[in-house]
Amino acid sequence: MIGSSTCFLTNKQCSPGEAVSGGQMRKTVYDFIKARHPDFKEDSVLSQDAFNQLMSEYVASIVEDEIGELSGMEKEVIQSIGHNEILTENVEEEEDRAATFGERIADRVASFGGSWTFLIIFFIILFVWIGFNVAMLQAKAFDPYPFILLNLILSCLAAVQAPVIMMSQNRQADKDRARSEHDYKVNLKAELEIRLLHEKIDHLLIHEQKKLLEIQQVQIDLMQSIQKSVGPQATQAASAETATRPV
């Protein structure tokens, strides 16, 4: 039972359901808080917010020991663990909502330019253009061989289409970068949560073993007390039986 409901760090009252005492913490977490606050004891109490803040610092120390200085993404992951927040989100939808009108046009142009529909329409127009001008060559075709006007139009199309496609590719690269960063944050959080879960399980096992040892010791004490109480009675009964036995 938690005797006091005053937070050790903030000195504010907290409800017993939200209070966490030092005796309820895992040994590694307790030792970490003890190193930071030497006056902290097993009967000291922390509010849930204070405990979450210290847990964030504890996880940050674990990550710093393994990978060195923390980046912004890693700090965000540690903060989400301390506040029990969810990191999973749809990155592509966020990127699409933040896209400008020009970026949306670039995506559609790049999508259409890389489809079979565009190639089929392009070749149909090309063949019609060439066929019409070859057939009309005798009657003053508007673009006779070697089709200079067609070459000019194709050059202009390529000059405009290339930067538009590059804009779409740059946006796709930003999506891939955001997706990889999001995957890294989720994987890092999962790894840290699993590690904390292992510590919790080890903590529970140690406490269960202590309880089992205490129960065994109580059973041994009971058996010894029973033997002590039964021993003299058994000796008297044996003596009485020997005395009444005929010689």
Full DSSP string of 147-207 = THHHHHHHHHHHHHHHHHHHHHHHHHHHHHHHHHHHHHHHHHHHHHHHHHHHHHHHHHHHH
Give me the pLDDT at residue 32, please: 79
Question: In the structure encoding, which two tokens stand for residue 224, read together?
Answer: 């010894």
Residue 77's pLDDT is 73
Domains contained in the chain, number: 1
44 within domain boundaries? no
Tell me whether residue 140 is in a domain.
Answer: yes
**What does the pLDDT read at residue 7?**
80
* pLDDT tens track, the chain, 247 positions: 444 577 877 777 777 666 777 777 777 777 878 888 888 887 778 777 777 777 777 777 777 776 666 667 777 777 776 666 666 666 667 777 777 888 888 888 888 888 899 899 999 999 988 888 887 766 677 888 888 898 999 999 889 888 888 888 888 888 888 888 888 888 877 877 777 776 667 666 666 766 677 777 777 777 777 777 766 555 555 555 555 555 5
Residue 1: the pLDDT is 41
Calpha distance 82→65 (Å, rounded) = 18
Give the C-alpha separation, 141 to 138, whole Å.
7
First to last CA, the chain: 67
Structure tokens given for 208: 């269960």
Task: Look at residue 133 and tell me if it is in a domain.
Answer: yes
Rounded distance, CA 61 to CA 15, Å?
A: 29
**Per-residue model confidence (pLDDT) at position 209:** 66
Per the domain annotation, does 99 fall within a domain? yes
Asked whether residue 74 is domain-assigned, the answer is no
What is the rounded CA–CA span in Å between residue 207 and residue 215?
12
d(CA 35, CA 22): 13
Domain hosting 157: range is 94-184
Q: What is the pLDDT of residue 84?
A: 66
Residue 176 covered by a domain: yes
Q: What pLDDT is attached to residue 200? A: 66
134, part of any domain: yes
Tokens of residue 161, six digits: 């289409």
Residue 76 within a domain: no
Contact 81, 59 (CB under 8 A): yes
For 10-16, the CB contacts below 8 A with 24+ separation are 10/47, 10/50, 12/47, 14/45, 14/47, 14/48
Strands 45-46, 20-21: pairing is: antiparallel
